[in-house]
Every structure is written in structure tokens, then in C-alpha cells.
Amino acid sequence: MPKLKRTPLTPNERSLIRERTFEELEAGKIHLGQAIRRFRLRFTGLNQKQFGKLTGFSATTISAIERDPESGTVRTINKILRKFGMQLTMGMINRSSETQRVSVSPTATPSFYHRSE
């Protein structure tokens, strides 16, 4: 299993990154793939190949999802999000807005924080 490339973030730092990312998703400033990329880089510091090993996907798959999240299945995206302690959920689309709403909700502590050194 790849070793994290950065100093682990505090719970408050992780929460702040999540909150800001969720706000940007909600506002339509970023798409889900960009959020996944941000989480990968900020939470793990791993490149796509290393993160792919962690999630069981190729670097090509990780790259495709980060560029265009519609290229991945819900199952694939959820498997990636679970590494960050999150899951994909459904929500209502605001008809007065052109932007789609995608909810990513926190679950438990990310699995890569439970590894023993």
C-alpha cells in the first residue's frame, strides 16, 4: 500500500477543506472530479498512479474521473470517495439554476488514516 506523501491533516483542517469543497460544488464552481482531485492531493499527496493502487483502479481511470466524473460509474466514484470517508448521495436539482447538484456526504474517518505504520 502506498505511503502518504504529506503530513496528516488535523481533523479541523480536513473539515475546512471538505466544507470549502462542498460549497464550491454546490455553487457549481467545480465539478465532482475536481473535488476528488483536490481531496486526493490535499488529503494524501499521492499521484494518480499511487492513489489508483490504493483504490484498486488504474491511473488512467483516476485521471478520467478527475477530468470528467461522468466517465465513472456510481460504484467506482463511491469506491474512491470511501477512501476519504465520503459517499455519493442524491439530492434535488434546483430548477431555477442551470447547475446540477451533486452531494458528497462524509461517512466515517477516511480508511487511509487507520493504517498502522
Put simply, whether the predicted model's pTM sits higher than 0.85 gets the answer no
Task: Decide if 18 is inside a domain.
Answer: yes
Instruction: Confirm whether 33 is domain-assigned.
Output: yes
The pLDDT tens digits of the residues spanning 5-57 come to 667 889 999 999 999 999 999 899 999 999 999 999 999 999 999 999 999 99
Residue 3 lies in a domain: no
Total number of domains in the chain: 1
Q: Within a domain: residue 99?
A: yes
User: Is 66 inside a domain boundary?
Assistant: yes
The set of residues, in sequence order, having a beta carbon less than 8 Å from that of 115 and lying 6+ positions away, is 1
- 52 in any annotated domain: yes
Instruction: Say what the pLDDT of residue 116 is.
Output: 38
Domain that residue 56 falls in:
11-110
* Residue 4 placed within a domain: no
